[in-house]
């Protein structure tokens, strides 16, 4: 799970308060899902070959179908096979993560899924956040996988404000992700 785009001051405080940001992973966890469009943007910006920053996660057909069913923005992603592209890791974090500084990629080069996190569109078409809220920072820190913006918010509007974004911007990113996921599946 996890990912993130240090988009605002809350992301700078997150690793201090919660012990890790969403760009870091524990053993067995995976980062954001990449589309081919993400890979092309990152390769063009960094000059890196995709094998330097892309990892593959092999799912069963059932797992891939379940992934698309739970996350409508990814409908069509697995059309050519149940392989999820994600970010490679190094020392427990995304290869682009710079400790204490966040993501080393410019905001418009980051994977769309990273720019969208923690916002999620659900199968019923509604938007909310994809991570649960502990309501207790000590518990959130002990369990891991929490998002400080979500912990500190009382409403979805508060989470949007924490990232300095709006529903319109989030929905626009969602539309971009849906289109790029469909194109990914078309091959």
Burial class (CB in 10 A: 0-12, 13-18, 19+), 47: exposed
Comparing CB distances to ligand SF4, the nearer of 52 and 80 is 52
What are the start-end ranges of the E strands in the chain? 33-34, 54-58, 83-87, 89-90, 93-94, 97-98, 102-103, 119-121, 127-129
Our finding on whether 4 is near ligand SF4 (CB under 6 A) is yes
164-183 positions binding ligand SF4, by CB under 6 A: none
Which own/partner pairs from 54-63 qualify as long-range (CB within 8 Å, at least 24 positions apart)? 54/85, 54/86, 54/87, 54/88, 55/30, 55/85, 55/86, 55/87, 55/88, 55/89, 56/83, 56/84, 56/85, 56/86, 57/30, 57/83, 57/84, 57/85, 57/86, 58/82, 58/83, 59/83, 59/84
Q: Which stretch binds ligand SF4 (CB under 6 A): 3-11, 70-78, 136-144, 178-186?
A: 3-11
Round to whole Å and give the CA distance between 125 and 104: 32
The site map against ligand SF4 for 11-30 (x = CB under 6 A) is x--x------xxx-------
Comparing CB distances to ligand SF4, the nearer of 9 and 81 is 9
Comparing CB distances to ligand SF4, the nearer of 48 and 79 is 48
Q: Any bridge partners for residue 33, and if so which?
A: 86
Closest CA to 87 of 56, 126, 115: 56
112-141 positions binding ligand SF4, by CB under 6 A: 114, 117-118
79-98 positions binding ligand SF4, by CB under 6 A: 87, 94, 96-97
Q: Which stretch binds ligand SF4 (CB under 6 A): 54-62, 74-82, 134-142, 147-155?
A: 147-155
Our finding on whether 41 is near ligand SF4 (CB under 6 A) is no
Q: Which stretch binds ligand SF4 (CB under 6 A): 60-68, 75-83, 143-151, 173-181?
A: 143-151
Min separation Cβ 168 and ligand SF4, Å: 19
The residues that touch ligand SF4, with contacts defined as CB under 6 A, are: 3-6, 10-11, 14, 21-23, 31-32, 87, 94, 96-97, 103, 105, 110-111, 114, 117-118, 147-149
């Amino acid at each position: 799970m996890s990912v993130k785009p240090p988009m605002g001051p809350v992301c700078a405080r997150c690793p201090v308060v919660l012990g890790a940001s969403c760009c870091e992973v524990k053993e067995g966890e995976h980062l954001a899902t990449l589309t081919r469009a993400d890979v092309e943007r990152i390769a063009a910006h960094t000059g890196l070959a995709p094998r330097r920053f892309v990892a593959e996660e092999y799912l069963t057909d059932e797992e891939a179908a379940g992934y698309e069913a739970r996350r409508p923005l990814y409908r069509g992603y697995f059309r050519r096979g149940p392989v999820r592209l994600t970010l490679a890791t190094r020392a427990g974090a995304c290869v682009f993560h710079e400790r204490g500084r966040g993501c080393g990629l410019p905001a418009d080069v980051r994977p769309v899924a990273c720019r969208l996190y923690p916002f999620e569109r659900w199968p019923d078409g509604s938007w909310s956040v994809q991570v649960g809220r502990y309501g207790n920072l000590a518990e959130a820190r002990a369990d891991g996988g929490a998002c400080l913006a979500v912990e500190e918010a009382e409403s979805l509007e508060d989470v949007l404000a924490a990232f300095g974004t709006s529903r319109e911007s989030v929905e626009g990113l969602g539309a971009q992700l849906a289109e790029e996921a469909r194109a990914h599946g078309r091959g």
